[in-house]
Amino acid sequence: MEVAVVKYLPGAKSVAQAISMCNGSKELKSTHKVLIKPNVVVGGKIYRNFIKGVLTTTTVLEEIIQFVREFGCTDISIGEGSVLLPDLGINTETAFEAAGITELARRYDVKLIDFYKHPFDEVQLGENKVEVSSIVRESDFIINVPVLKTHHQTRVTLSMKNLKGVLSFKSKKSFHSAGLEKSIALLGSYIKPQLNIVDGIYTVDRGPVSTEWQELGVILAGTNMLAVDMAGASILGQNPEDVKHLSDYAAITGEPLSMESVRIIGEQLEKVKINAQWEDHWPERVLDMYAIKGVSMPAPGLSLCSGCAFGIVLALHTFFRECPGQSYDNVEMCVSGEVKASASSKRVLLFGKCAIGANKHIEEAIKIKGCPPSSGDCYNALKEHLFSMKHC
């Protein structure tokens, strides 16, 4: 298994170089219907600072389009299914726009595909049935283009996890309840991209999003998804054997989970390796940021999905920014189905269907319904029920 590692240099066609080094176009034909799957997790005006190290760059996507066009391919699409926050007007279209991909597609006359607006195929993954975009089945050559970054739930989010974007929104939520890491591995065993190109021009710690990016300037490419992700994890300072969805994938497919099985072409991993951090106790961080006392929010674990997380985090920041430095009397806020509220808490707020289901016995709890609950409903609940305890 070969993985090309190339230092990115503007104007040097670094992406084409990486593709050539790993023989990444060996299965490509000029008649192929090509699908490019970037990481465009979320985007819009309120997330305008979540670009570098968060979303696949138009720099890399442009070089991929140029390479495929020069190869003779004419049927090229860029597809994604981004986080949906309807009350905030956040969707795949706004994410494409924020990433600069809408303009890129216009310039190169490339089709933009919002997977949510197309049919889905029902696929059995272990004990879980999921909906995979029919565009995947209809494509001849898939180029998977994740960002090189760590993730607060799965250590890394690279080629394999990037495939989650082809699912329906309902199936993305079910991934978390069915076991996130195993589900990622099963999806990876079902969808085998012909080429994986990791955009490491920029990176962030503790993804999926962050405003604290750093320039890394590296491109990875390979035809074997596990090999590429092992190399990517290693660059981020993570042992591939500690990344559960990679070990699960290796167990499912029988592929070796060992860097000894990977031939690195180009830059030595040690020369580009960084000590990236992945663990993030974000509930504590948000409360500390605004010097809030008397409020607890247990870590939500792997069952928290992106749709729930983005809306709730935004509501928390908005409310506590308006009321910093306040002290409350033993309030507990619960998110996800893994969290059980403490019996000693005087006031409990349950955000979303999963948290409500996990705490049915607390009849007096404040329940913010929805799957996911809207950011507006979360904010209004905070304002109504915490204002009654302490006025700002």
Percent of the chain surpassing pLDDT 90: 94
Give the CA count within 13 Å in the CB-facing half-sphere of 184: 27
In whole numbers, what is the pLDDT of the chain averaged over residues?
Answer: 96
Q: What is the pLDDT of residues 153-202, one digit of tens each?
A: 999 999 999 999 999 999 999 999 889 999 999 999 999 999 999 999 99
Q: What is residue 219's predicted lDDT score, i.e. its pLDDT?
A: 99
Rounded CA separation 371/55 (Å): 25
In the chain, where are the structural domains located?
2-272, 282-387
**Per-residue pLDDT for 2 more than 60?**
yes
At the top level of CATH, which class does the domain 2-272 belong to?
alpha beta
Q: What is residue 392's predicted lDDT score, i.e. its pLDDT?
A: 59
Note whether 2-272 and 282-387 share their fold.
yes
Q: What is the pLDDT of residues 208-228, one digit of tens each?
A: 999 999 999 999 999 999 999
Q: What is the CATH number of domain 282-387?
A: 3.40.50
Give me the sign of the Cα torsion angle 63, 220, 235, 225.
positive
**Per-residue pLDDT for 342 more than 80?**
yes
pLDDT classification of 60: cutoffs 50, 70, 90:
very high
Q: What is residue 390's predicted lDDT score, i.e. its pLDDT?
A: 60
DSSP 215-253: EEEEEEEES-HHHHHHHHHHHTT--GGG-HHHHHHHHHH
Q: What is the pLDDT of residues 356-392, one digit of tens each?
A: 999 999 999 999 999 999 999 999 999 999 876 665 5
Rounded CA separation 378/369 (Å): 9
**Per-residue pLDDT for 49 more than 90?**
no
Strand, coil or helix: 180: helix
Considering only 95-104, 240-249, 281-290, which range has the smallest mean pLDDT? Answer: 281-290
Rounded CA separation 26/31 (Å): 14
